[in-house]
Structure 1
Amino acid sequence: MSLRGQRVVVVGGTSGIGFAVADTAVRDGAAVVVASRRQESVDAALRRLPAGAEGQPLDATDETAMRAFFERIGAFDHLVYTAGESLLMASVAESDLAQARRFLDTRLWGAYAAVKYAAPVIREGGSVVLTTGTAGRRPLPGTSVAASLCGAMESLTRALALELAPLRVNAVSPGVVRTDLWREMSEEDRAGLFESSAATLPVGRAGTPQDVAEAYLYLMRGGYSTGSVVTVDGGGLLV
């Protein structure tokens, strides 16, 4: 149950959960390619990742760029998609529809395009692991866009698992995790979020990217999971 000798592409792999997945996969023996919109982000990630990683810039909202990216990459074993801007939180009345569409362009349609152009070059026995979130099953006020995305990603995962079989397609659903996705909140609000989560979660703390990365590796390694959504939320859906 190792990724040794396999090739993993992580779109969104230069920060947060994506970086943790890339780092863990390299340490497990995989050759990893990380992709992100900005070249400087790719360069910074490669300086931190162990030997065995490479990277390229990629705008996940540009279908032409996505197609060209996978044509350059060639055959590989596992696609992980974690790309996304900071979480969009606003009431329906105060929402900016253009901003909401951009949010979905990266997280939903970017994932869709990545699968479309990656699937033909994923080797036999390979997999796709997408990213959703617990807002789809436990939304809060102000999370209508995020909740809509999460519901869509879970449905997309199940549909692709059937359509692309025997290629395995799964998703990971993180809860509150200490990443840059919360950067639009003030430092005080972020600290309050993590503190309140720690107080209510059964595990007694907010999650880290490394906590969640293990779920992605499990889904890549395990040959009997497809159409599954693995929740890693410290027990948040229970309380």
Structure 2
Amino acid sequence: MEKQTNRQTLEGQRIVILGASSGIGLSTAIAAAAAGAKVVIVSGNQVRINEALKQLPAGSEGYAVDLAQEANIQAFFDGIGPFDHLVYTAGENLVLNEIGSTVLTDAQRFFNVRYWGAFAAVKYGAPHIRKGGSINLTGGIAGQRPNAGWGVAASICSAMEGFTRAMAVELAPVRVNLVAPGIVRTNLWNGMPETDRENLFTTIGNALPSKRIGVPDDIAQTFLYMMQQHFATGQIITVDGGGVLI
């Protein structure tokens, strides 16, 4: 029988996090660095990257990359060198519209970063992942539990789940998993008026079994677990305070 060693650590490992200048991505970077990892954070805005680096240990790296452009993603990975884990949390504010008022070109644009950006990151990042490493993607519960107006969001989440399973098979033994958050307090909701946003958070939080909505660290801890464990692959890990139950 193969001897089992304690591999559940991120000490000394290098983690590349795309979409990490704020919210879930930045929380994941902070938590990973606290666990001993060397983190590389990527976002589209250099000013926000610089601000995020102030919250990370010395030696952390940060790069501004337009994740809507395949060539930029390829160039980034061609120059970054080997690493252990890839985390993709990038996404822009979604506008929720029922199908009758949805402009198709706007709907297609939302796939650029959330889906095709992740697709390109996996394509160009996977060859640089060291043995025992992993790819960790982000979806959401909209595919499992959509509401009216969530047609685009549900489509992206469902597409990401299928992509995760396919890559877990194709890229084995690299582990590929996806974290599906519920409602999380991040700046992705800043497109809503503040009063409407807070009412939404309060209403949903009171309805959840957890009696609160999520915060970025809830999701960050899930990403850390998925990097540290060494057996699950092709899995969708739902972290939603019980949102799919109601």
Residues 11, 18 of structure 1: 8 Å contact kept: yes
Alpha-carbon offset, residue 51 of structure 1: 2.7
TM-score, normalised with respect to structure 1: 0.98
> 1 CA distance for matches of 2:215 and 2:166?
29
Structure 1's consecutive aligned runs of 4 or more residues displaced over 3 angstroms after TM superposition are: none
Amino acid paired to 1:160? M
Alpha-carbon offset, residue 102 of structure 1: 1.5
Amino acid paired to 1:120? P
Structure 1 residue matching 2:177: 3-state secondary structure? strand
> 1 CA distance for matches of 2:194 and 2:121?
33
Equivalenced residues, count = 239
More displaced, 113-122 or 97-106? 97-106
Is 1:9 the counterpart of 2:13? The answer is: no
Among the aligned pairs, what percent are the same residue?
Answer: 52
Please provide the CA RMSD for this pair. Answer: 0.8
Structure 2 residue matching 1:212: 3-state secondary structure? helix
What residue ranges of structure 2 are gaps of 5+ in the alignment?
1-7
* Aligned match of 1:44: 51
* Aligned match of 1:174: 181
Q: Deviations over 1:166-223 (max 9, x none)?
A: 0100000000100011111110111011101221111111110001111101111100
**Equivalent in 50, 53, 69 of residue 62 of structure 1:** 69
Amino acid paired to 1:226? T
* Aligned match of 2:244: 237
> 1 CA distance for matches of 2:60 and 2:103?
38
Alpha-carbon offset, residue 47 of structure 1: 1.4
Structure 2 residue matching 1:66: 3-state secondary structure? helix
What residue ranges of structure 1 are gaps of 5+ in the alignment?
none
> 2 CA distance for matches of 1:179 and 1:75?
30
> 1 CA distance for matches of 2:31 and 2:154?
28
Alpha-carbon offset, residue 71 of structure 1: 1.1
For residues 1-239 of structure 1, the aligned pairs below 5 Å read 1-239=8-246
More displaced, 139-148 or 50-59? 50-59
TM-score, normalised with respect to structure 2: 0.95
Alpha-carbon offset, residue 93 of structure 1: 1.3
Structure 1 residue matching 2:99: 3-state secondary structure? coil
Alpha-carbon offset, residue 148 of structure 1: 0.2
